[in-house]
Amino acid sequence: MLKIDKLTKAFGANKAVDSVSLDFDRPMMIGIIGASGAGKSTLLRMLNRLENATSGSITFDGRDVTALHGADKRRWQRDCAMIFQQFNLVPRMDVVSNVLHGTLNRRSTLATMFNLYPSEDIHRAIDILDRLGIAGHAAKRAEALSGGQQQRVAIARAIMQDPQIVLADEPIASLDPMNAQIVMDDLRRIHDEDGRMVIANLHTLDTARRYCDRVVGMRAGRVVFDGTPEQLTTGVARDIYGADASFSEAATSTSIDALNAATSTPVPVA
């Protein structure tokens, strides 16, 4: 379905992504983990063509994504919607209009200039907001919402594009544990109920283990782990993060788990 072959991105002498090959044969929920600078964001940005690869290829359903131009490239970008750590909403614009921005790629410039949206799009936007539990905020300005609510608006905007793949770059890094859990639950539902592939860069091990079907570990631009959450042992994690003996799982925990089991204490690696 999605096949990444020897994908490389060099910035000068630095290979941010270094010959990464991955094969996903069905829509899954995939977590990408790794230390800061490992190349996680660069990999996602190449996937939706925000960044051009230096070499290698990305194939989706047999089509070479790296070779797309113009309208075909824009269609691909609609097919793989992106969610960011900082939400990237228009702060002063109301929530529904922010969600409707997800249809921008297929509307005329004129319609966009005058903020003219077909009523079926407006209804769909509100339905999506309702599904995410935030329809009550539809008329508010985005900036009036909490971080967790804003991230759910960003998810709604992504769903509005009706994408096959949802890419999320550290979607919960700016959220408290409660909102982090709500947002991860939403992403999981988007996979479970809609059958969309979700690929999320996550900065914490526990979140990857808990929510993902498959976890990819990156280190210095390379894939050093690709397996199930069960295979992601503490030893493997230590290798991914390149940590020394002082490595502790607690250092890579968002404490979503702690929220549910207040008694469990992460065990440091001796």
Ligand X SMILES: Nc1ncnc2c1ncn2[C@@H]1O[C@H](COP(=O)(O)OP(=O)(O)OP(=O)(O)O)[C@@H](O)[C@H]1O
User: Contact positions toward ligand X, by CB under 6 A?
Assistant: 11, 14, 16, 34, 36-42
Closer CB to ligand X, residue 46 or residue 256?
46
CB of 173 to Mg ion, least distance (A): 9
Restricting to residues 36-75, name those near Mg ion by CB under 5 A.
41
Sign of CA dihedral 269, 251, 38, 50: positive
Q: Is 204 in the site for Mg ion (CB under 5 A)?
A: no
CB of 82 to Mg ion, least distance (A): 12
Residue 115 backbone zone (phi > 0: left; psi -120 to 50: alpha; other: beta) = left
Which of the choices Mg ion, ligand X, none does residue 67 contact, using the CB cut-off of 5 to 8 A by kind? none
Query: Residues binding Mg ion: what is the number (CB under 5 A)?
Result: 1
CA atoms within 13 A on the CB side of 179: 16
Closer CB to Mg ion, residue 251 or residue 267?
251
CB of 40 to Mg ion, least distance (A): 5
Q: Where are the alpha helices (DSSP H) in the chain?
A: 40-47, 70-79, 95-100, 109-113, 119-131, 147-160, 177-194, 205-211, 234-241, 256-260
Closer CB to ligand X, residue 81 or residue 216?
216
Nearest to residue 31, comparing CAs of 175, 215, 177? 215
CB of 196 to ligand X, least distance (A): 22
Residue matched to tokens 């960044």: 51
Taking CB under 5 A as the binding criterion, the range among 15-23, 35-43, 93-101, 137-145 that sits at the site for Mg ion is: 35-43
**Burial category of 87 from C-beta neighbours within 10 Å (exposed 0-12, middle 13-18, buried 19 and up):** buried
Closer CB to ligand X, residue 95 or residue 165?
165
DSSP 55: E
Closer CB to Mg ion, residue 41 or residue 98?
41
Which of the choices Mg ion, ligand X, none does residue 214 contact, using the CB cut-off of 5 to 8 A by kind? none
CB of 240 to ligand X, least distance (A): 11
CA dist., res. 219 & res. 40, Å (int): 9
Which of the choices Mg ion, ligand X, none does residue 37 contact, using the CB cut-off of 5 to 8 A by kind? ligand X
CA dist., res. 92 & res. 46, Å (int): 30
| Residues within the interface to Mg ion (CB under 5 A) | 41
